[in-house]
Chain A
């Protein structure tokens, strides 16, 4: 009780203590914001991949014939919710006068891919309305918003009304693929297609929005591989059932794939083994590891700088101890042991650390949650647009608080404050009342 009384008294009487609380809070908030933004970015990066391609992707070195049968077999697995096929190609899109874009073309099962990816959620008008826009004038195409328009230079936002006007417009796409000639050589065969923009895709992920045109897989197949007698796919995207173990699911999927490739497709072992079957998160692992490393380096730098907070707490506590020598001597002359005295100051350090950390955590939470609004204010006040989708991939700054990292940072901050208080506490503990309280 006496300790708490003394802590509150020091807190009320020694305003310089507020400085240490402010410093702990500032450092704590900064580290929480940095860790949360980085982790939010990494999560968004991984989520973006899952939204785009599903949980697991089968990517063989050659095209898969008769994929509906493979999908049927995959959907029979306990761990698989749904599977869909895709076929990709590259092309040039002529959008109008003087406007040509290099694009990636993804052939998708329009009706089905919504069960595996976030495609349906990314459509501006929604699929029900989309199909009616084509009227049989050409192949229905779903075009990334960044292919059709540029975001505003200042706000980095798209003019959705203007983009919406593009729906129903006819455009020309040139694509092609290498086909085997009679002499066994590969020959590039190109094809120009008339498309009608059925809808606009806005996923919030710059790469996809800025580069991809989605077409129905069968129509892309007819255009690029007209000689193929049955449905073909380049990849199979799979959505796993929620809660299932990804590793177990991968093993099951690999089993189905190997049996299918061997028996149905008659593939050689090297082709089967050369097929990549990975989760979307595994596919991004190399980049995620790099982001995590950058985060670690930045946190280390800020962590080292934050060491000065320990120095600050040390200085403040040293000053308090120097000022309170008489109090300490009186405490000791009344029977308090050296350990009890030391505990008063270490406890006070913990108390200061906890208060600062709480304040810092609240500040960090508020800043992280409102980071997009803050960024907007900075733009309005200073004219500086800090976040652009073209640079940082996403149209919005990910604003999830990373509670795990925040917990570690909070613990470190409290421990740092206690460490800062330790030497002054020892100095207080070894105070000799007889030296301090003597008359001369």
Chain B
């Protein structure tokens, strides 16, 4: 009990310990704020990638695609762990909008809008036909015209709040799409003639995935049309990817493992069929693997920032060390008395480590409280700074970021608090050991009093 009383008394009475408490609180505050914002950005980015991809994809990067995708979709649809499946074709096209003097090279994705929105968040990304994917490719004015859904950044400007300027009644602008049709061997299908296939589509909607690279470079078109444009209808129908959504209770890795088994089995069955060699380049990936190139970059930045703050946090250990060193120097008489009434060296160490732990807990609680208060109002603060001084943390016309993330992750907060307490204990170890080595006979001799 006396250990607790002494530790509390030192914390309360020694004003110098407030400094250490302040340093711990400052570090915890900054780490919690930065990590919350960073984790929010990374988490949000991952979620958008998940929504864009679905749970799992089977397919190939090659623009040739792979055959027998319909047969494999049948296999998948019979599997008890699969909720929905959607085939897609990815290719590149030269797109020129009516009235524009220029054309632009873009990625085109051929999908069945209804099926695709069951697997991915496509339906929710639409502006004019939100959650009504069946009409995604219906241009305004004439629903019979072939429609196209254009990435929001290709079509619209963003304001300073990151919101797009939408027209309430967009015109069905004609867009000419030109592609290289490829044979199943990858050669030009129309060699010797015009080399390319062209078709005109009409603007029907925009898609806002929240992924800058997607929204600034992708045009969605009806699956059948893209298949024809890319020469993937004959001699055997091909697709680039099959997007899969697992049932709610299926774990991602387990689901992907099962799909891999099904795919291996399917390839074996198909090996004698014509053009079966095109199945060799097909892979089964979870959405995380499929979008790894993009997600990894952000995760690395998060890691780097954490490492840098870890380095800076070392200073807190130094401060705690110095403060404890001072306190121990001043408390030699207390320590001498304690030891003279029977306290062991371990008890003395326990007193000071208890004090360090209290300091760590108090500092981190103060830091977390300040961080929570700051994060609660961070967006209001940014809005105020923008209105008053024109300052924004991120220019929303450049970055595809909405609000500054401010949802605090309890686990992260507990880890940071734990690290702060550990840092305090680390800083207090040497002074505590030094205190424990004090000899009462030396500390209490008249010349020392």
Which A residues form the contact surface with B (CB < 8 A)?
16, 19-20, 22-23, 26-27, 30, 89-92, 94, 96-104, 172, 174-178, 186, 188, 190, 192, 286-287, 290, 293, 297, 301-302, 304-309, 311-312, 314-316, 318-319, 322-323, 384-386, 388, 390-391
Known A190-B196, A386-B300; judge A90-B315 contact (CB<8 A): no
A26 to B318, CA, bound (A): 12
> Contact between A22 and B318 (Cβ–Cβ < 8 Å)?
yes
Contact (A286, B22) CB under 8 Å given A92-B92, A312-B315: no
Interface hit among B44-52, B176-184, B372-380: B176-184
Asked if B267 lies at the interface with its beta carbon under 8 angstroms from chain A, I say: no
Given contacts A98-B182, A315-B326, contact A309 B315 (CB under 8 A): yes
Contacts of B176 in A (CB 8 A): 188
Given contacts A99-B63, A178-B96, A308-B316, 17 further A-B contacts (CB under 8 A): A26-B314, A90-B102, A98-B63, A100-B92, A102-B105, A102-B106, A176-B103, A190-B94, A293-B391, A304-B26, A305-B30, A305-B309, A308-B26, A308-B27, A308-B319, A312-B322, A318-B16
At the interface with chain A, which of B70-78, B186-194, B337-345? B186-194
When distances are taken between beta carbons in the complex, the residues of chain B under 8 Å from A172 are 180, 188, 195
Asked if B311 is at the interface (CB within 8 A of a chain A CB), the reply is yes
Q: In the complex the two chains form, what is the Cα distance from A96 to B293 in whole Å? A: 24
Contacts A301-B34, A305-B312, A308-B26 given: A90-B104 contact, CB under 8 Å? Answer: yes
Contact between chains at A192 and B194 (CB < 8 Å):
yes
What chain B residues lie within 8 Å of A177 (beta carbons)?
Answer: 101-103
Q: Chain A residues near B312: list those with CB within 8 A.
A: 26-27, 30, 302, 305-306
CB-CB under 8 A from A16, the residues of chain B are: 322, 325
Partner of B297, one of A20, A319, A388: A388
A309: nearest chain-B partner, CB-CB: B315
Measured CB to CB, the nearest residue on chain B to A382 is B303
Residue in B26, B196, B394, B395 whose CB lies within 8 Å of A174? B196
Q: Which residues of B contact A178 (CB under 8 A)?
A: 96, 100-103
A315-B395 in contact (CB<8A): no
Q: Offer 18 A-B interface pairs, CB within 8 angstroms, sorted by A.
A: A20-B318, A26-B315, A92-B94, A97-B64, A98-B63, A98-B186, A99-B186, A100-B63, A174-B195, A176-B103, A178-B100, A186-B98, A188-B176, A315-B16, A315-B20, A315-B319, A319-B329, A322-B326
* Interface residue B62 (Cβ < 8 Å from any Cβ of A): yes
Check if A30 sits within 8 Å of B311, measured CB to CB: yes
Chain A residue with the shortest CB-CB distance to B200: A188
Q: Bound complex: CA of A178 vs CA of B398, how far in Å? A: 29
Q: Is B225 positioned at the interface, with any CB of A under 8 Å from its CB?
A: no
Give the residue name and chain of the A residue nearest to B297 (CB): A391
In the assembly, what is the distance between CA of A384 and CA of B307, in Å? 13
- In the assembled complex, B198 has its CB within 8 A of some CB on chain A: yes
- Asked whether A89 and B30 contact (CB < 8 A) given A305-B312, A311-B23, the answer is no
Asked if B323 is at the interface of the complex by the 8 Å CB criterion, the answer is yes
Top 7 nearest A-B pairs (CB, nearest first) are A97-B186, A102-B105, A98-B186, A98-B64, A102-B92, A315-B322, A391-B297
Question: Among the listed B26, B308, B326, which residue makes an inter-chain contact with A319, where contact means beta carbons less than 8 Å apart?
Answer: B326
Contact residues in B for A319 (Cβ distance below 8 Å): 322, 325-326, 329
- A residues near B112, Cβ cutoff 8 Å: none
Q: Answer yes or no: B285 CB below 8 A from chain A CBs.
A: no
In the bound assembly, the distance between CA atoms of A176 and B93 in angstroms comes to 12
Contact: B323 with A315, CB < 8 Å?
yes
Task: List the A side residues contacting B311 at CB < 8 Å.
Answer: 26, 30
Map CB proximity to A onto B83-121 as digits: 1 under 8 Å, 0 otherwise. Answer: 000000001111010111111111100000000000000
B414 at the interface (CB under 8 A from A): no
User: Footprint of A on B, CB under 8 Å?
Assistant: 16, 19-20, 22-23, 26-27, 30, 34, 62-64, 91-94, 96, 98-107, 176, 178-180, 182, 185-188, 194-196, 198, 293, 297, 300, 303-304, 308-309, 311-312, 314-316, 318-319, 321-323, 325-326, 329-330, 391, 393-395, 398
- Chain A residues, CB < 8 A from B330: 322
Q: Are A98 and B101 in contact (CB under 8 A)?
A: no
- Complex contacts, A98 vs chain B, CB 8 Å: 62-64, 182, 186
* Known contacts A319-B329, A323-B329: A90-B103 contact under CB 8 Å: yes
A19 to B311, CA, bound (A): 14
Q: Is the CB of A92 within 8 A of B178?
A: yes
The answer for the CA separation of A23 and B98 in the assembled complex, in Å, is 63
From B22, B198, B391, give the contact of A190 (CB < 8 A). B198
Do the beta carbons of A311 and B398 come within 8 Å of each other?
A: no
Residues in A with CB closer than 8 Å to B182 are: 98, 100
Rounded to whole angstroms, the CA-CA distance of A22 and B312 in the bound complex is 12
With a 10 A CB-CB cut-off, give which of B96, B99, B186, B303 has the most chain A CB atoms.
Answer: B96
In the complex, the chain B residue whose C-beta lies closest to that of A22 is B318
Given contacts A102-B92, A176-B96, contact A290 B102 (CB under 8 A): no
Give A102 to B91 CA distance when docked, in angstroms. Answer: 9
Task: Find out whether the CB atom of B319 lies under 8 angstroms from the CB atom of A312.
Answer: yes
Q: Is B106 a contact of A188 with CB atoms below 8 Å?
A: no
Cα–Cα distance between A220 and B395 once the two chains are bound (Å): 37
Closest B residue to A388 by beta carbon equals: B297
Q: Are B293 and A390 in contact (CB under 8 A)?
A: yes
Q: Are B196 and A192 in contact (CB under 8 A)?
A: yes
Chain A residues with Cβ below 8 Å from B99 are: 186
Residues of B close to A101: CB separation below 8 A = 92
Contacts of B100 in A (CB 8 A): 178, 186
Residue of A nearest to B92 (CB): A102
Residue numbers in A under 8 Å from B315 (CB-CB): 23, 26-27, 305-306, 308-309, 312
Complex Cα spacing A414 to B21, Å:
24
Complex formed: what's the CA distance from A92 to B26 in Å? 54
Task: Give complex CA distance A190, B194 in Å.
Answer: 10
| Docked complex Cα distance between A220 and B259 (Å) | 48
Q: Give Cα distance in the complex from A407 to B102, angstroms.
A: 49
Q: Name the CB-closest residue of A to B33.
A: A301
Least distance between B366 CB and chain A CB atoms (Å)? 14
- Within 8 Å CB of A290, what residues of B? 394-395, 398
Does A188 lie within 8 Å of B27, measured CB to CB?
Answer: no
**Do B318 and A23 have beta carbons less than 8 Å apart?**
yes
